[in-house]
Chain A
Amino acid sequence: MKLKSNIATSENGFIFNPATGDSFSGNGMAAQLLEAMKSGKTEDDIKQDILSRYEVSESQLNSDWDNWMLQLKEANLLEI
């Protein structure tokens, strides 16, 4: 689940993949997760952090996380 190293992200959710030229816009939560993933935090750490700060159940977050991984994979942003 590692983000490709050359992916550029901005605080407001803009994502650019220089290798393909694709750009994406994400919502606030997407921006946070990307930031955390880039800094090298583990999946568990990231989830714990979100759970402590946001109004969301663990099961909801887990299912959204799986969905998030699928989105990143589909967008070609994950290290294979």
Chain B
Amino acid sequence: MEKLPYEKPYIKKLQAGALNKFGSRTGLQPFKSIDGVSVKSLIENYGSPVFVLSEKQIRKNYRAAYRAFSTRYPKVQFAWSYKTNYLNAVCQIFHQEGSWAEVVSGFEYRKALGNGVPGNKIIFNGPGKSINDLQLAIEHDSLIHIDHFDELNLLLTLSKNLVNKPRVAIRINMDTGVYPLWDRFGFNYENGEAWSAVTKITGSGSLQLVGLHCHIGTYMLSADAYGIAANKLAELAVRCQTELNHKIEYLDLGGGFPSTNTLKGAYLPGNDTVPTIDDFAEVITSALLNFGFANDDLPLLILESGRVLIDDAGYLLGTVIANKRLANGKGAAIVDFGVNILFTSFWYEHQVSPAQDFAAHTENMVIYGPLCMNIDVIRESINLPLLNPGDQVVVHKVGAYNMTQWMQFITLRPAVVLIDEKLRTHLIRKNETLEYTAEPELVPAHLNNNK
């Protein structure tokens, strides 16, 4: 006799009290494939856990963002913010689409050179550039964005006897009505610091001030803040022209547009609350177009968007290791990926989907990672169907910052796979091995038992 399908016994308390005013999410669906490639086959071929990126989605995001700005403003340039995801294959997709590189360290700078980005298309941001880094950037005619007066003075010394004057911009911090104010990077607008940096550079005769830069925050939920920032940069640029007879070639509005992830503690899902890229484009470009630049003299508009261009193109696939019931009765699932590789679980309530069919009942549960550490919580509270050991799950919108901020801690970092536009899969970063982690280690002779 054929046996009946089994499901775990489960009861759920019915609440007589007020129901959630938005209702519970219905229509939880198994998420079985990415761009038509099955989750099961990805895990079979590349292991579990594994990061998966969709080239199709990355290009789609880039083109939508570029279109949003370029249909409203004649001179637009994106620069890929390397720290968001600097796997070389990913950077090359953005460079193929026409992006320059935006880097914030000597390591990232050299990575961009290694990716074949011409020096004059690398924007070098950040408060921590070394003398060597600056010299390299000068040699390659890169755009050096100065963060503080000590860096400015160093650059003045380095450029003293140069024939080709290094091209620089200053980073400016300002009040855009959004708090906390990011005043630790760059020169302040309101107190006149930015203007004194401008006059010091233009008066030096040894540096060319070609741009003005700001990056007013990250995961910004207010489009209006960008309108204020664009106005303040434009105001400085016009003042350079009128008072110093010096033309500013570009205004760089930085990054910070949010992805549709849900921030921790947010009342509504990110999908419902974040402004779209068109909203940001509209505010920024109308501020610049209405500022009073001569039509043939508009500055180039540079954007350094990171997370909005890649977050939703990244997935983390993993496997359920075990189920538990906590002392308070709450259900818990332990999965094979921890916060060491999913750094953004500290910021976001990532959506997690089962990758196979499931029984109708859902339960509110915690999802723990495999680390033997109290902080290793992927989701504190999520409604999911009952999961069995061996079941596969998909974490959504993990493309930004995870594949750079991940740590080799307790477990090894997993492979990263790219699905190209023809639905072929490519390994773009191998999973780490014990040998890989041991390679840089040295054991002094008196401690070496393996002689």
**Which residues from chain A sit less than 8 Å from chain B, CB to CB?**
13, 15, 21-30, 32-33, 50, 53-56, 60, 63-64, 67-68, 70-75
Bound together, the chains give a CA A27 to CA B325 distance in angstroms of 18
**Is B328 a contact partner of A29 (Cβ separation < 8 A)?**
no
Beyond A67-B8, A68-B9, 14 extra complex contacts between A and B, CB < 8 Å: A23-B16, A25-B11, A26-B10, A26-B12, A27-B9, A29-B10, A30-B10, A53-B3, A54-B5, A54-B6, A55-B5, A72-B11, A75-B11, A75-B13
Residues of A within 8 A of B11 (CB): 13, 15, 24-27, 30, 71-72, 75
Can you list 17 A-B contacts (CB < 8 A)? A23-B14, A24-B11, A26-B11, A27-B9, A27-B360, A29-B8, A30-B9, A50-B6, A54-B3, A54-B5, A55-B6, A56-B6, A63-B323, A68-B8, A71-B9, A71-B325, A74-B329
Contact with A along B2-43 (1 / 0, CB 8 A): 011111111111101000000000000000000000000000
**Is B14 a contact partner of A25 (Cβ separation < 8 A)?**
yes
Residues of A within 8 A of B323 (CB): 63, 67
Residues of B within 8 A of A21 (CB): 16
User: A33-B9, A53-B3 in contact; A27/B361 too (CB < 8 A)?
Assistant: yes
Residues of A within 8 A of B7 (CB): 27-29
**Is B14 a contact partner of A54 (Cβ separation < 8 A)?**
no
Q: Min CB distance, B263 to chain A, in Å?
A: 31
Asked if B447 CB lies within 8 Å of chain A CBs, one says no
Residues of B within 8 A of A56 (CB): 6
Asked if B445 CB lies within 8 Å of chain A CBs, one says no
Residues of A within 8 A of B10 (CB): 26-27, 29-30, 71
Q: Min CB distance, A2 to chain B, in Å?
A: 17
> In this complex, what residue of A is CB-closest to B10?
A27
Bound together, the chains give a CA A55 to CA B359 distance in angstroms of 14
Bound together, the chains give a CA A71 to CA B363 distance in angstroms of 12
> In this complex, what residue of A is CB-closest to B3?
A55
**Is B4 a contact partner of A54 (Cβ separation < 8 A)?**
yes
**Is B9 a contact partner of A26 (Cβ separation < 8 A)?**
yes
In the complex, how many residues of chain B place their beta carbon closer than 8 angstroms to a beta carbon of chain A?
21
Bound together, the chains give a CA A23 to CA B17 distance in angstroms of 12
For chain B, residues 313 to 365, give those with C-beta under 8 angstroms from any C-beta of chain A: 323, 325, 328-329, 359-361
**Is A29 a contact partner of B6 (Cβ separation < 8 A)?**
yes
Residues of A within 8 A of B359 (CB): 27
User: A24-B14, A27-B361 in contact; A64/B9 too (CB < 8 A)?
Assistant: yes
Residues of B within 8 A of A68 (CB): 8-9
Bound together, the chains give a CA A30 to CA B323 distance in angstroms of 18
Bound together, the chains give a CA A27 to CA B10 distance in angstroms of 6
Residues of A within 8 A of B12 (CB): 24-26
> In this complex, what residue of A is CB-closest to B5?
A55
Q: Min CB distance, A67 to chain B, in Å?
A: 5
Q: Min CB distance, B130 to chain A, in Å?
A: 56
> In this complex, what residue of A is CB-closest to B12?
A25
Residues of B within 8 A of A60 (CB): 6, 388
**Is A74 a contact partner of B361 (Cβ separation < 8 A)?**
no
| Residue of B14, B323, B328, B359 with most chain A CB atoms under a 10 A cut-off | B14
Residues of A within 8 A of B8 (CB): 27, 29, 64, 67-68
For chain B, residues 227 to 251, give those with C-beta under 8 angstroms from any C-beta of chain A: none
Residues of B within 8 A of A73 (CB): 329
Bound together, the chains give a CA A50 to CA B359 distance in angstroms of 18
Residues of A within 8 A of B328 (CB): 74
**Is B4 a contact partner of A70 (Cβ separation < 8 A)?**
no
> In this complex, what residue of A is CB-closest to B8?
A64
Residues of B within 8 A of A54 (CB): 3-6
> In this complex, what residue of A is CB-closest to B359?
A27
Bound together, the chains give a CA A2 to CA B10 distance in angstroms of 17
Residues of A within 8 A of B361 (CB): 27
Bound together, the chains give a CA A29 to CA B359 distance in angstroms of 11
Q: Min CB distance, B405 to chain A, in Å?
A: 35
Bound together, the chains give a CA A25 to CA B4 distance in angstroms of 21
User: A27-B361, A74-B328 in contact; A55/B4 too (CB < 8 A)?
Assistant: yes
> In this complex, what residue of B is CB-closest to A22?
B13
Bound together, the chains give a CA A23 to CA B12 distance in angstroms of 9
> In this complex, what residue of B is CB-closest to A54?
B6
Bound together, the chains give a CA A27 to CA B68 distance in angstroms of 49
Q: Min CB distance, B446 to chain A, in Å?
A: 49
Bound together, the chains give a CA A53 to CA B5 distance in angstroms of 9
